[in-house]
Amino acid sequence: MAQPINKLSNLSISRAKCPPHKKDIFLFDGGGLVLRVRNNQTKYWLARLFINGKRCDRGIGIYPEISLQKARDIRDEYKALVLQGKDPKIEKEKQKFSASTNQSMTFGKMFDQAYAYKVKSWSEGHAKRTRLSFHKYLSKLKDLPLADISDTMVLEILEDVHKQAPSTTKKVKELISIVYQFAHEKRIYTGLNPTLTLRNNSLLKAPKAQHHKPLDPNDVGHFLYLLDSLKNATTKAFLYTVWNTGLRSNSLRQLRWSWIDKRDSAINIPREYVKPRTPFKCPLTPIALSMIESLRGIDKTYVFLGNNNKPISDRTPRIAYQKLLTTRISDGENMTIHGFRTTLNLVTTRSKKFSTEVIESQLTHAYAQQIRRVYLGNLDYFDERKELLNWYEEWGAKEKQRFIEDNGLVTNEAKIASGDLF
């Protein structure tokens, strides 16, 4: 049976009072219209609605500023919105802020605001790449009001980006979207985000993944033997550490002396230098720690010092590695330092001595980190990972010794026949 409506009258409303001992009372007009009377005798209209199966009270206004009849009309409007799958509260906010939309705000000014806010949570590298992408690809939008930028304009820009760097196309689109999202969040601009219509555009499909060629486990002994011949102590220590730990090159290049924990023989890497963005404690094996400590005194801040008092560049160890392998191991020019991670994964997995969770945790794979946080809390497998890296180091030493014996070489006479390369 339908509930009666229009039960209240102006007289009953004017006489309604909340007893001093109560916080508030509610008077029901029917059809979802409710009058809330506070103990200070202030009266508020509410619309009691059911949105997605849940009861939701949505404010209408203060009585008598909103009359009984006006409240009923607004209630009916709210109910009509609910039938359309809309939340009256959200629609009200949209209307409120659309009137105050800043039509003159330019994309460049909005980018600067968004960048200043977001950069606090970004790594130094990501911040630099974002700023560079803006100047390189989005200069055409800089002086245009947000309201004047269409999806057609954005598509033209993305087409140009795709011609230059296909893998960057989606990132540029996301950067544009970030600017508009920030403008919406700050209620500076509430108009259309021109990237929304481009979600399924073929330009944004990820290019075929280019997998980093790993160092073949059968060549590890040869590599470590050749590494002994490297004259540059910094590059030598860097290559050995990244091989042994499986850390990403970008994380290790930034290594500070303040991150070294000699007591635990570990590196404490802050979240902004780790992918995904969570602090990571990486064990150090005896040899890796010894090679790192041999560099102490070169610089007060950075372990692996490059040029201009900055960390070693990505290019320096990469070129050294490729040159080293090309000397004796075929296809060296196509090898990447990142491939060390695959090598560590292959060798330790094949050994069947370590669980997948321990291996994935050492490689800081995003999926593994998420699973660990959800199901295992703060468990980081540090002791297990330390055992893994020590075993890996010992395995590498045996492989190197096997290579030396198989080729009739002597450790202290290990040299590259073609002479000094570095």
Q: What is the reported pLDDT for 277?
A: 74
C-beta separation of 285 from 220 below 8 A = no
Both 403 and 279 in one domain: the answer is: yes
Tokens of 359: 């291996």
Both 49 and 174 in one domain: the answer is: no
Tokens of 71: 């409240």
Does a structural domain hold residue 405? yes
Both 93 and 124 in one domain: the answer is: no
How many Cα atoms within 13 Å fall on the side-chain side of residue 170? 10
Q: Using the predicted structure, report yes or no on whether residue 291 has a pLDDT greater than 90.
A: yes
Question: What is the arithmetic mean of pLDDT over 289-304?
Answer: 94
Both 82 and 112 in one domain: the answer is: no
Q: Using the predicted structure, report yes or no on whether residue 171 has a pLDDT greater than 50.
A: yes
Does a structural domain hold residue 362? yes
Q: What is the reported pLDDT for 129?
A: 87
Both 245 and 368 in one domain: the answer is: yes
Q: Is the dihedral of CA 324, 328, 329, 331 positive or negative?
A: positive
3-state per-residue secondary structure call for 143-196: CCEHHHCCHHHHHHHHHHHHHHCHHHHHHHHHHHHHHHHHHHHCCCCCCCCCCH
Q: Using the predicted structure, report yes or no on whether residue 7 has a pLDDT greater than 80.
A: yes
Both 365 and 248 in one domain: the answer is: yes
Both 406 and 356 in one domain: the answer is: yes
Residues 249 and 243: their CA atoms lie apart, in Å, by 10
- Largest Cα separation within the chain, whole Å, is 109
Amino acid found at 57: D
Q: Which of 79, 98, 117 is the last residue of a domain?
A: 98
Question: What is the arithmetic mean of pLDDT over 356-363?
Answer: 88
Both 191 and 278 in one domain: the answer is: no
Q: Which of 67, 98, 129 is the last residue of a domain?
A: 98
Q: What is the reported pLDDT for 207?
A: 52
Does a structural domain hold residue 422? no
What percent of the chain is predicted at pLDDT more than 70?
85
Both 251 and 398 in one domain: the answer is: yes
Q: What is the pLDDT of residues 105-125, one digit of tens each?
A: 899 999 999 999 888 888 777
Both 172 and 271 in one domain: the answer is: no
Does a structural domain hold residue 419? no
Q: Which of the given ranges, 78-92, 145-159, 372-386, has the highest pLDDT on average?
A: 145-159
Q: What is the reported pLDDT for 271?
A: 86
Structural domain count, the chain:
3
Output DSSP code: residue 209. P
Q: Domain span at residue 303? A: 217-413
pLDDT band at 300 (very low <50, low <70, confident <90, very high): very high
pLDDT band at 198 (very low <50, low <70, confident <90, very high): confident
Q: What is the pLDDT of residues 154-165, one digit of tens each?
A: 888 988 888 888
Q: Using the predicted structure, report yes or no on whether residue 374 has a pLDDT greater than 50.
A: no
Does a structural domain hold residue 380? yes
Q: Which of 70, 98, 126 is the last residue of a domain?
A: 98
The closest of 98, 109, 127, 344 to 217, measured between CA atoms, is 344
Q: Using the predicted structure, report yes or no on whether residue 330 has a pLDDT greater than 60.
A: no
In this structure, what CATH number is given to the domain that contains residue 84? 3.30.160.390
Does a structural domain hold residue 209? no
Question: What is the arithmetic mean of pLDDT over 289-310?
Answer: 92
- The residues, any chain, with a CB within 8 Å of residue 319's CB and separated by 6 or more, are none
Question: What is the arithmetic mean of pLDDT over 362-377?
Answer: 55
Does a structural domain hold residue 211? no
C-beta separation of 75 from 32 below 8 A = yes
Computed over its alpha carbons, how large is the radius of gyration of the chain? 32
In this structure, what CATH number is given to the domain that contains residue 346? 1.10.443.10
Instruction: Give CA angle at 51 (49, 55), nearest 5°.
Output: 55
Place of tokens 């499986």: 246
What percent of the chain is predicted at pLDDT more than 90?
41
Q: What is the pLDDT of residues 238-248, one digit of tens each?
A: 999 999 999 99
Question: What is the arithmetic mean of pLDDT over 379-387?
Answer: 87
Both 254 and 390 in one domain: the answer is: yes
Question: What is the arithmetic mean of pLDDT over 21-28?
Answer: 90
In this structure, what CATH number is given to the domain that contains residue 128? 1.10.150.130
The closest of 286, 191, 292 to 238, measured between CA atoms, is 292
Q: Using the predicted structure, report yes or no on whether residue 220 has a pLDDT greater than 90.
A: yes
**pTM across the whole model:** 0.52
Distances (CA, A) of 264 to 254, 268, 284, 369, 376: 20, 10, 8, 22, 22
Does a structural domain hold residue 84? yes
Average pLDDT over the chain reads 83
Both 161 and 288 in one domain: the answer is: no
Q: What is the reported pLDDT for 417?
A: 44
